[in-house]
Amino acid sequence: MTINEAKEKLAALQQKQAAFAHASSLIYYDGVTGAPKGVADNRAQTLSVLSQEMYLLATGKETVELLEFLDANRAELDRCEARQVELLLKDIRMMQKIPMEEYVAYQRLMVEADDVWHTAKEKNDWPLFEPVLQRIFDTHKKFAAYCAPDKAPYDYWLDRFEEGLTMARCDEFFATLRAHIVPLLQRVLEKPQLDNSILHGHFPVAEQEKFSLELMKLIGLDLDRVGLATTEHPFTISFGSHLDERITTNYHEDDFSNSMYSVIHEGGHALYDTGSARELAYTVLDGGVSMGVHESQSRFYENIIGRSRAFCEYILPVAQKHFPALAGRSADELYRALNRAEPGLIRIDADELTYALHIMVRYELEKRVMAGELEVRDLPAEWNRLYHEYLGVTVPDDKHGVLQDSHWSGGGIGYFPSYALGSAYGAQYLRKMKETVDVDACVRAGNFAPINDWLRERIWQYGAIFRPGELFERAVEEPFDPAVFTAYLEQKYTELYDL
């Protein structure tokens, strides 16, 4: 095999993997959008066959030999090819350690779990979900032991979602957040609460749909490449990164801001995925590098842009065109309503200030279950206890508690810290971006191009070429510092609540 033949095979391998990923993702997406209710068995069957094919393709002798050959000839690879080989080998070495039947059984478990979780949440039935979640945690522990026997299992999974992340780093990070957010929230709660009556009224779904498309265009999404659908839980999914991306939202007729923030949040993910350089198409480098960086894009758009005063000034007249209920209201009223800080039960409804506390509950629980210090069956009680301790709220039932998120049923143990990390990354983007871009003026004018150009140039275009830490430091030209985030929060809420 010559090096050029090997490079061609490397491209063909990734094209195949991209096709399988497209097919598998679409089957999942169909399951939560158009599919009839009773077909999860068929979906599970197809996904298990496809995952078996993907496993065999990735771990097959031909693939392993190819990648080892390329790895041995790194000097002749360009930066992208070298990183492709690195990531593929990392994945393969992981997969090789997991017996195929267990890998395929896990894919099946995910389909089953998704189904069971939906029902359990709907019926507020924790005992229905518990045995499935037990199997998920057990499998995650087992896979971690196969793949990284020298690591704590939870560290293995944190690293899967954010290369380089560990419990030690999380503990420190969350301690910093807690030290600032808890007293800040206390000061906020001593003040008179902000009025959010502007958010409540009648906002017909049909108009919200039109508004969603307008928002997507506004923030710079190409509607020819990015689709919108409605699902119970908003998410973003890629069928080919910059080539075909879908976001979903969920409409509440009594509060238009709910879907607005889903669209902006998921839109931020989609901007990142579709912002990859064209030449990354059909390679493992296409799309985002990690969930932390991904959430930094979505939460930057949702909060730092979307909950800014400038955004409220731009968006109010746009929203008023769609919703007569907003007539006569001011941008300041909207800004204050959208930033009302209030401890609550539901993570996705949380404001920018209390959000991280919701994440900390999940982090604590995951960490302890993965370490064997907490039993799955004790999760609801412990969830409720921590919500009381961190947020001061009483959880009335599991539907509004431990059953609220789809992450665990989707295998996302170790994912949650990405949200908080992403929020903190975003504050540093903003500080750096402001050196060259008048962010407020752009947002106030509905002109997102300079903001997107900055993000594209420093982050999006690179896909997974750089590791997350390196990508972040190149973008902001300094190390990660959560104090920038807490300072941002302190400034914002001091002004808002006149502290």
Interaction of residue 101 with a second copy, rule CB under 8 A = no
Interaction of residue 192 with a second copy, rule CB under 8 A = no
Choose, by CB under 8 A, the member of 11, 53, 368, 487 that binds a second copy: 53
Interaction of residue 50 with a second copy, rule CB under 8 A = yes
With CA atoms as reference, report the closest residue to 273 among 302, 232, 244.
244
**Structural tokens at position 7:** 């490079």
Question: Could you tell me if 161 and 415 are in contact, meaning their C-beta atoms sit under 8 angstroms apart?
Answer: yes
Closest separation in Å from C-beta 223 to a second copy: 6
- CA 306 – CA 312 distance, rounded (Å): 8
Choose, by CB under 8 A, the member of 1, 5, 8, 19 that binds a second copy: 19
CA atoms within 13 A on the CB side of 439: 20
**CB within 8 Å of 159: residues ≥ 6 apart:** 151, 165, 166
**Structural tokens at position 141:** 């522990």
The residue from 130, 245, 266, 333 that is catalytic is 266
Closest separation in Å from C-beta 267 to a second copy: 14
Closest separation in Å from C-beta 243 to a second copy: 4
> By C-beta, is 222 or 332 nearer to a second copy?
222
Question: Could you tell me if 280 and 286 are in contact, meaning their C-beta atoms sit under 8 angstroms apart?
Answer: yes
CA atoms within 13 A on the CB side of 384: 10
Q: Using CA of residue 100, residue 104, residue 105, residue 110, what is the dihedral sign?
A: positive
Interaction of residue 273 with a second copy, rule CB under 8 A = no
Annotate each residue in 214-253 with x if it binds a second copy (CB under 8 A) or - if it does not, as one string: --------xxxxxx-x---------xx--xx-x-------
Question: Could you tell me if 152 and 167 are in contact, meaning their C-beta atoms sit under 8 angstroms apart?
Answer: yes
> By C-beta, is 7 or 43 nearer to a second copy?
43
> By C-beta, is 241 or 354 nearer to a second copy?
241
Q: Is 266 a catalytic residue?
A: yes
Interaction of residue 56 with a second copy, rule CB under 8 A = no
Q: Walk across the sheet containing 226-230 and list its strands.
A: 226-230, 245-249, 236-238
Q: Binding segment for a second copy among 42-50, 115-123, 323-331, 473-481 (CB under 8 A)?
A: 42-50
Q: Which residues pair with 249 in a beta bridge?
A: 230
Phi, psi angles (nearest 5°) of residue 369: -65, -45
Closest separation in Å from C-beta 80 to a second copy: 19
Q: Is 324 left (phi over 0), alpha (psi -120 to 50) or beta?
A: alpha
Q: Binding segment for a second copy among 15-23, 110-118, 387-395, 466-474 (CB under 8 A)?
A: 15-23
DSSP 17-48: HHHHHHHHHHHHHHHHTT--TT-HHHHHHHHH
> By C-beta, is 18 or 92 nearer to a second copy?
18
> By C-beta, is 46 or 447 nearer to a second copy?
46
> By C-beta, is 227 or 288 nearer to a second copy?
227
Closest separation in Å from C-beta 418 to a second copy: 26
Closest separation in Å from C-beta 60 to a second copy: 13
Choose, by CB under 8 A, the member of 27, 325, 437, 487 that binds a second copy: 27
Q: Which residues pair with 238 in a beta bridge?
A: 245
DSSP 469-489: HHHHHHHHTS---HHHHHHHH
Phi, psi angles (nearest 5°) of residue 226: -120, 120
The bridge status of strand 226-230 relative to strand 245-249 is parallel
- CA 171 – CA 422 distance, rounded (Å): 16
Tokens 């800040």, residue located: 184
> By C-beta, is 3 or 281 nearer to a second copy?
281
> By C-beta, is 50 or 128 nearer to a second copy?
50
Q: How many residues does the chain have?
A: 499
Interaction of residue 39 with a second copy, rule CB under 8 A = yes
Element (H, E) at 226: strand 226-230
Interaction of residue 30 with a second copy, rule CB under 8 A = yes
Closest separation in Å from C-beta 111 to a second copy: 13
Choose, by CB under 8 A, the member of 42, 193, 250, 394 that binds a second copy: 42
Choose, by CB under 8 A, the member of 6, 7, 10, 18 that binds a second copy: 18
With CA atoms as reference, report the closest residue to 68 among 88, 98, 96, 52.
88
Closest separation in Å from C-beta 44 to a second copy: 11
> By C-beta, is 107 or 423 nearer to a second copy?
107
Q: Binding segment for a second copy among 33-41, 139-147, 311-319, 371-379 (CB under 8 A)?
A: 33-41
Question: Could you tell me if 386 and 361 are in contact, meaning their C-beta atoms sit under 8 angstroms apart?
Answer: yes
With CA atoms as reference, report the closest residue to 51 among 108, 96, 9.
108
> By C-beta, is 16 or 97 nearer to a second copy?
16
Interaction of residue 43 with a second copy, rule CB under 8 A = yes
Closest separation in Å from C-beta 45 to a second copy: 7
- CA 252 – CA 204 distance, rounded (Å): 9
Annotate each residue in 280-319 with x if it binds a second copy (CB under 8 A) or - if it does not, as one string: --x-------------------------------------
- Catalytic residue numbers read 266
Site residues, a second copy (CB under 8 A): 15-16, 18-19, 22-24, 26-27, 29-30, 33-39, 41-43, 45-46, 49-50, 53, 222-227, 229, 239-240, 243-244, 246, 282
